[in-house]
Amino acid sequence: MTDGPMIVQSDKTVLLEISHPDAPAARASLAPFAELERSPEHMHTYRITPLALWNARAAGHDAEQVVDALVRWSRFPVPQNLLVDIVDTMSRYGRIVLRSDPAHGLVMVSRDRMVLEEILRHKKVAPMLGARIDTDTVIVHPSERGNLKQVLLKVGWPAEDEAGYVNGEAHAISLAEDGWKLRDYQAMAVDGFFAAGSGVVVLPCGAGKTLVGAAAMAKAGATTLILVTNTVSGRQWRRELIARTSLTEDEIGEYSGERKEIRPVTIATYQVMTRKSGGQYRHLDLFDSRDWGLIIYDEVHLLPAPVFRMTADLQSRRRLGLTATLVREDGREGDVFSLIGPKRYDAPWKDIESQGWIAPAECTEVRVTLTDAERLSYATAEPEERYRLAATARTKMPVVKAILDRHVGEQTLVIGAYLDQLEELGVALDAPVIQGSTKNLERERLFDAFRSGEIKTLVVSKVANFSIDLPDATIAIQVSGTFGSRQEEAQRLGRLLRPKSDGRQAHFYSVVSRDTLDTEYAAHRQRFLAEQGYAYHIVDADDLLGPEIPRQG
């Protein structure tokens, strides 16, 4: 027995004592191959999953490194059966390899003949394959490269894709050299991606994922299709690319609900790509409209199912996924792994913060008590209505006003999910509201006014969760969310993380109704940020409305 900060259990869970002095180092060792499940005050629970282990293996970590990390930091002897299982699971990655063969095109090669025999008898795999060349090699229909990887992952034999990529249509792109250069971690992210040719880069909000994309484009030197969450985000990409690269306005097209421009660099929204007409996705042929050399998926954790399906056909193209939170509430992380690629670079938020590239932030959960009338409505409501009732409690209004009073003059976002609630807040706070129906021109006008300081408070719906650059926002007040979405919580905090010119700390408030589903969902939402090292300080609304807000030590 040692004094390590971890307890490793045979059910593949790892308990981390967060008050232990070695907890930060142990967390950094765990992050590549374990997922945070629960994060109460003293012990955080991680789970070691096959997908996490395969991600680690694809990123260059071997079983010996994983075993060494567990043994090094564990307080008690690590269960022998768990260590054996880790070695076995990681060894499954890469026993099947996809390669390009000069004579036969795309082939599947086995490093273990018995595994190949097992796979060949799988009813979903057989239709994707052609003739068997020899005992270890089978021809693969080129159009099935993505679908085959999906199926192989699901049957427990994730393939290592070495088949390479087409260069696509060449288009010269260089990074501008006037007053900026890639940060070290951005350069490492680009190198990690390009060495493999496809995969996901995970960086905190505000850490410059767009610049990673621009550098990847310059390295590829090819036509590029960029998929983004909305038109405002796409126009931010456009502005950044014009400012940071040799690209001109004429070289960048917008493919959205408003415009249909196809140019050497084309920025398209997920919405237009998934819009149906006559029961069909009419715009998916954009993927075939040019010989793209690179496809960038911004906020890849939001990738819609139809785009997943089309991505299965794009395996010969270089694919870069960008995100702050490789968490999908629909459980389709495996599809990101197999169709976009494994995680190629991941930087912990607190590491980037310590280098001064994102702002420090304090997270506070303020708990309000429902009125007797609200409690009765909640108690008698149908299950599907309960969260809405708790999330939109009127007792939240004075708390929001009190927070604004304590941060007078600071750039503040009030964020929620329910439009009626947001409209009421807009009236009560005399602040403009941005929601889904707000026209893009009006959105951009309001965001610009907020950036300039002309508007100090904005009330926003989930349209502001992603890819909106508001560098001077220092306060966010979350009044309601999309149930227990971890990625939404992280993205909302991310609106505040651009470094401030005066080094100020950001403050993220989440106003929650106690003794309701609101509290349960809030705890779930906070899990990802807890994994990144953020601690929520919980205060009572009565304390907040008193003389002073309690602060973290």
Helices and strands (DSSP H and E) totals, the chain: 22, 25
User: What secondary structure letter does DSSP report for 78?
Assistant: P
Per-residue tokens: 143 = 């159009």
How is the chain split into domains, by residue range? 6-92, 96-161, 184-352, 359-544
Q: What's the burial of 382, exposed, middle or buried (CB within 10 Å: 0-12/13-18/19+)?
A: exposed
Closest by CA to 355, choosing from 111, 185, 171, 128, is 185
For 184-352, the fitting CATH number among 3.40.50.1700, 3.40.50.720, 3.40.50.300, 3.90.1200.10 is 3.40.50.300
pLDDT for res 550: 42
pLDDT for res 552: 36
Q: DSSP 3-state assignment of 447?
A: helix
For 359-544, the fitting CATH number among 3.90.870.10, 3.40.50.300, 2.40.30.10, 2.40.10.220 is 3.40.50.300
Contact (Cβ atoms closer than 8 angstroms) between residue 479 and residue 398 = no
Contact (Cβ atoms closer than 8 angstroms) between residue 120 and residue 126 = yes
Per-residue tokens: 262 = 């196809």
Angle (nearest 5°) at CA 21 between 347 and 84: 70
Q: What's the burial of 135, exposed, middle or buried (CB within 10 Å: 0-12/13-18/19+)?
A: exposed
Q: DSSP 3-state assignment of 471?
A: coil
Contact (Cβ atoms closer than 8 angstroms) between residue 6 and residue 74 = yes
Per-residue tokens: 408 = 């007078």
Alpha carbon distance 138, 339 (integer Å): 21
Structure-token match 């929620």, residue found: 416
Alpha carbon distance 22, 426 (integer Å): 46
**DSSP strand pairing (96-101 vs 105-110):** antiparallel
Phi then psi for residue 506, to 5 deg, are -90, 155
Alpha carbon distance 177, 180 (integer Å): 6
Q: Do 184-352 and 359-544 show the same overall fold?
A: yes
Q: What is the pLDDT along the chain (553 residues), one digit of tens a residue?
A: 678 999 999 999 999 998 899 998 998 899 889 987 766 667 888 899 999 999 899 988 999 999 999 999 999 999 999 999 999 999 999 999 999 999 999 999 999 999 999 999 999 998 999 999 999 999 999 999 999 999 999 999 999 999 999 999 999 999 998 768 899 999 999 999 998 889 999 998 888 999 999 999 999 999 999 999 888 889 999 999 999 999 999 999 999 988 899 999 999 999 898 888 877 888 888 888 899 999 999 999 888 888 888 898 899 999 999 998 877 777 788 899 999 999 898 887 888 888 889 889 999 999 999 999 999 999 999 988 999 999 999 999 999 999 999 999 999 999 999 999 999 999 999 999 998 888 888 988 998 999 899 999 999 988 776 667 777 889 999 999 876 677 788 888 888 888 877 778 999 999 999 999 999 888 888 877 877 778 888 999 887 776 544 433 3
